[in-house]
Each structure stands twice: as structure tokens, then as C-alpha cells.
Chain A
Amino acid sequence: MKTLKIITLLILFVTTFNSCDTNDDDFYNTEYISVPNLVSIQTQANYNVGDYLYVNSYINRLLAEPNQTNLLDIRKTTNNAPSFAFSYLLEKKVGDEWILVDASFPNIDLNLGKFITGGFYNATAEFNVANDRYEFLCGIKLPTSGQYRLSFGYNSSSTTQVEIRSNSSAESISLTIFSNVSNLDAEGYYNFTVN
């Protein structure tokens, strides 16, 4: 009986880990590329209370991919993914803490794409057939004076780059684009002051 118990436990243990493999520790439908400046902060020289800080993203269907001789068709790659998404944060310094700025309606000016706020902002650039590109443009109202910072490191493995992911269907290739963003410091923040 003791033998059977040991063997049964051994089989259960092995069965549990049986499907583990170094070939399944990645996402095999995901391709990673780097293309700079696909997301921009529309900076101003000065900011006043009530101004909006705009972030835009214009991602052409055909992208110049580093170290490749021809352009990359991201629509064909993603099997016509309807959109690309990325995350960012706008925080205001309150005392010693950085607090997420309220970006719910009517504190945003959404012109293109979709915007969802929660513990971070989720921006979605939707494909515009007429312009043959994915587009997002949204401004967040700066409610009070003080120190602010904007960053793209949330949900990302990089602080100085924004991680843009295609919203592909399950069996299609998911394309993740790492893109450098101008105006970020070494820690990945765009710092500014609202008067």
C-alpha cells in the first residue's frame, strides 16, 4: 500500500510538470520589433491650469524596420489587427507622493482612437483606412498648478520606450513595437510644471 501511495504521488507530481518545456516559456505568436517615435508628447513651452497635455500616436501601415531592406506591412503581419494599444501615466506630485491625474470625462479631449482610465491610462490607436495608419490623439486637462510627470513604463519592460501591442485575433501574429519617445529623461519621465 505504501508503495502504491509513493508511486501515485510520483505520477501526480510528474503529470503536473509533464507539459513544462523550454519551448513553452515564450509567446510564439508574438513578434517584437523596434521603430522609434511612433508616440509623441505634444509639449508646450509653458503650461497653465486648464491646459491639456496631448499625447499622439500615428503608426503608418508600412514601417521602416531597422536592419531590413524593405518596409514592414504591419496590417498584413497582424492579419488586419483593428488597433494598437499602449499604456501611460500622468502623475502630479502631492507632498512626497505622485498621484495619477484624473483622466475621466470631461477631463480629457479625445480626438482619435480610444482612451480608458483606471490604475493607468490605456490608449488605443485605431486604423484609419483613409490615412492608411493607426491613429490616437488625446489630451488630459491639467487641473491644478504644481509638478507633473508623464511616463510610459507601466505594463512595459522598458522605461524609456513605449511598448505598443497590436490587438490581434488569437491565432494571428501579435506585433509588439518598442518605440523611443522624445522628451523623456533617463528614468523615462517627461517632467513639467503647471503655473
Chain B
Amino acid sequence: MKKIIGLFLLGTLLVSAQESSPFDNKKNEFRVDVLSAIAYGKLSFSYERFLGKDFSVGVNTNFSNSQKIEDDFNDGFRNNLPKYEINPYVRYALSKSKSRYYFAEIFASANGGDFKEIIRDTDSNGNGFYTIKKSKYTDFGLGGSLGYKMYFKESWALEFLVGFGSNLTKREQSPDVISRVGINLGYRF
């Protein structure tokens, strides 16, 4: 009996020792996406809350302000101009290490922007004419991502993320594909 109790206590101590890590008291993280800012002129911020051993939840928001995409929209090379995305997500760590690990996530997306189409209208003389009508769109989507995260000095995070999703309700107006691609720099506290 003493042996069993001894083993139990030893096991408990080992588990405690394994779970004790510099990240245990740091449950929050903010990140900014460097790649999106440089490549797409998109401001992208993320918050992540670490729940337990492997799971975390968070939200990513981004706002687009790309002159190239706007020019393409105005010149007729695309019919939508995405302006914002709000992407809540749930992550699962695939590796045991807390300082460097792969993760998988599923995300939802509420996104919107401008949409344009050509319509036939009638002028005051009763003649028809085609004109470009601009309006707003809002859509919702789901997707998944894979990523790799590493920490430096137990607080600074570098995260690589690649993911895709699909808009679900207004695909004729919104982009078909939602992408979550980024190189994020973050701080965990």
C-alpha cells in the first residue's frame, strides 16, 4: 500500500513538473501580421487566449487598404473589394513542446466589402443604358488552417499560418475563398 501511495505521489510530482512551464502564467497573446501588411496592404491583428494544455481560442480582425486591389476593382478586373474580416478561431496544438509547436485551427469568418455589377437602367428620355452599380456585401464562411509557432525569450512569438476557407452565403458577390495566410509577430503575457 505504501508503495502504491509512493508511486502515486511520485507520478503526481512528475505530472506537476511536466506541466510547470514558463507559459503557464501567460494565457494571452497579441499578434500582428507582417506578411499581410507588406504583401496586401492589410492591417491584421490577432488575440489568442490559451485555455489549457492543447487548446486555445482567439479572434483575428483585419482591414484591407490595398491600392492595387482597389485599382483592379475600379478597372473591372474584379467585382468585389474586400474591406474587413473578423475571424474567430479555435486551435489545437499538435506538438508537445510549448515553445515550438505545430497547430491546427478551424475558423469562422464574417467578412464584407464593396461589390459592383453592371445593370441596365432607363434615363429621363426613356432610353436604356448600362451603368455600374456599387453596393456593399457581407458574407460568412468557415475554414481551417495549419501553422507553426515558436517563442523567443518565453514571450515573443513568431507564427507561420496557412489556411483556407470558403464563403457560404453570397458567393456571387463575395470572394469564394477566404485565406488565412500570415507571418505573425506576437507577444505573450
Contact = CB atoms under 8 A, between A and B. Distances in A.
Interface of A: 3-4, 7-8, 10-11, 14-15, 18-24, 26-31, 62, 65, 68, 70-73, 76-77, 170-171, 173-175
Interface in B147-176: 148, 160, 162, 164, 175-176
A191 B183 CA distance: 63
Size range of the chain B interface in the assembly: 35 or more
B77 A7 contact: no
A73 B183 contact: no
A27 B76 contact: yes
B116 A21 contact: no
Contacts of B127: 62, 70-73, 76
Contacts of B40: 18
A6 B177 CA distance: 23
B177 A21 contact: yes
B12 interface: no
B61 to A, nearest CB: 18
A15 B116 contact: no
Contact of A70 (B117, B126, B181, B183): B126
A22 B128 contact: no
Given A11-B183, A14-B179, A173-B131, A23 B148 contact: no
- Which 4 pairs of residues, A with B, have the shortest CB-CB distance? A29-B76, A76-B129, A24-B78, A28-B79
B120 interface: yes
Given A7-B162, A14-B162, A15-B39, A171 B176 contact: no
A31 B179 CA distance: 30
B175 A21 contact: yes
27 contacts: A7-B162, A11-B181, A11-B183, A14-B164, A15-B39, A18-B40, A21-B175, A21-B177, A22-B176, A23-B80, A24-B72, A24-B77, A24-B78, A24-B79, A27-B76, A28-B76, A28-B79, A29-B76, A31-B118, A68-B120, A71-B128, A72-B129, A73-B123, A76-B123, A76-B127, A171-B75, A173-B130
